Structure 1
Amino acid sequence: MSKLFESFQIKGINFKNRIVMSPMCQYSATDGFASNWHLVHYGSRAVGGTGTIMVESVGVSSEGRISPNDLGIYNPEHVIKLKEITDFIKEQGAVPAIQLGHAGRKASAQIFQEWKGDGTVNEKNGGWQPVAPSPIKFIEEYPEPKELDKEGIEKVVNDFKKAAERAIEAGFQMIEIHSAHGYLLHEFLSPLANKRTDEYGGSFENRIRLLLEVVDAVNSVLENKVPLFVRISATDWVKEGAWDLEQSIKLTKLLKEKGVDAMDVSTGAVIPDAIIPVGPGYQLPFASRIKKEVDGILVGTVGMITNAVQAETILLNNEADLIFLGRELLRNPYFPLEAAKELREEIEWPLQYTRGKRK
């Protein structure tokens, strides 16, 4: 059997293969509500054989959304459509997962038709005041964020806890905390965005404090029954005075002690002008190093993984445990079905599609 299609269990949840749909914002929600677009989008990838379908970053609060068009889970009524989506994903034998996030200083972004942020939406047009660990703009076109006070930090922790409760109610079988890509929890980790002088800033122990509090709050809901992943940016791609791989390794060891089951290892995005050597598997060395240094926690890798042999080789070389696919699954919802054929692996096809199966 190929490693890519090897099944495994975490906390009693069965994952049929090691392919994970990486969370990718669709910017297609209204007031945080999912729609039929989301049902078909995520459902198609489940039909296509992906083992874990992770819903895009979902705002734990209204002000935590990246844009006004982001999904939310801050309203109890958001659960209704999300439950429809998770039910369908489960019917296809896949695990429905959700990424819980808070956009921090990158919130209230303007999303144009080309699906990328370009400035922000002002409050008069339905936007809101972003918050952050420190009043430092992401880019000049963005407003200065409001520095979170102790009450605001407590609200963030409680918002993540409530979001986890609603995620379980909606039928999600795995939860990921988004602490990467320059959003709020990553902003607290990185000295580039965090200039605080209280217990949430300065030292490594202080900068990781909020993330650890969020993990504890979410874990209090999961009760060791639901797998918990954390996505990090393993480096800011800045040589000095930034978040880096060594700190990521230290953090991973602490998260393991707190019961986190897997690390979803990405990189960058806390500042706009970092020089990143993008290429096939460019983030793999960071995941591989974390896996080597920290025993007893699963490690996922992401970033320009585009074919079955590449994914299989990563697993066979023990460089990662999980393969997160992003853009490749946008291009091809049926990548796993084709990958199985390429790896000469016999997997179950949807009955309705067996006529299209190549002999």
Structure 2
Amino acid sequence: MNKKNIAKRAAVILLCAFMLAAPFVVLGNLPRSDLFVAGARFEGILELWHIESFEGGVGSRAGWLKKRSTAFEKQNKGCLVNVTVLTPEQAQEKLNNGERFDLASFSAGAGFELLPYLSPYGGDVSCVRGDYLRGGQLNGKVYALPYMAGGYVLAAMSKNLAGFENKNLAENIFGMGFEKKVGKKTVSLASVACGYGGFNQPCMALALNTTQSRRNDLLDEGLTQYEAYEKFLTGNNHTVLLGTQRDIYRLTNRIEQGRLGECVFEPLGGFTDLVQYIAVGDTEAKKAVFAEKFACFLTQEQSQQKLTEVRMFTVNAQSIYSDGAMSALEQALSSVRTINAFTDPSILSALRSETLKSLETGEKKNLERYLC
């Protein structure tokens, strides 16, 4: 083969190599939003760590995510989303061991440790209400996209409301303790009890919805959410349960089954920290594009309508409940303030103490600095 032919073949090989590589060079330098336009495909697995730190509504939020992952996969052939359920402690251990995620689902309290491993979200936010969106922002950038929410509610058995019928529970909350006979014994009921999850702030919801100050030690504290519910069921521990959407489901289910008498529910509006977020990890560019696409998918109407399956609330202006206590709580959450998803857990711990102090004094101004 002469030198001229060798040169021609070499030129052809170089041209082919350039043509094959050029799309990836160009796509790699495009913003994520432009990659959608370019029609980039991704075949592989997106690792999603789902971290739970508060009670949901009913069933499994992880199961709901897996169903939405299946629907997403049908629209994006070859792109699989693997959902792994973790506690905040397990997630931290995996990070310490060098493992990484492409997507993370979490709520306030867990976000603080995840922040160094996240990328700013550059996708569509038009489906998310601004008040919820603020909870996932830092320095004007969205790092976590809200995709479902819960809320707080007061519940009381009608039989224990003698003298308080048709009265606002929140505005009478610390005057509702009383004594009653149980067999040969006399028992004293506290006014209200609440249970805590990992980082949630139920007393903040109460403080922002009442003008009453705490009298004596009427607020039963130090319980988990389920322990507070169990004690409430006895009818002999506290008059009012400060609970969540989970307690609405548990109590209404018992009522419908004839295992509990009539209950009164009163939603606590204007505040919730029971918000689940989705965030994109600091991962390779092409994975990040489809991670953002999945995050956006969770906020779209087709996904938000499915939140009835887990008795949670939408983060857009869409109403998905038509009657009962869930509808009332949904309306109460039509405008909310929340706590930033990346707040240091030590600050959240201090906030619990600050809130109890606020309930004792009636002073609410100090709580404002924790809200967004």
Q: TM-score, normalised by structure 1?
A: 0.23
Greater helix fraction, Structure 1 or Structure 2: 2
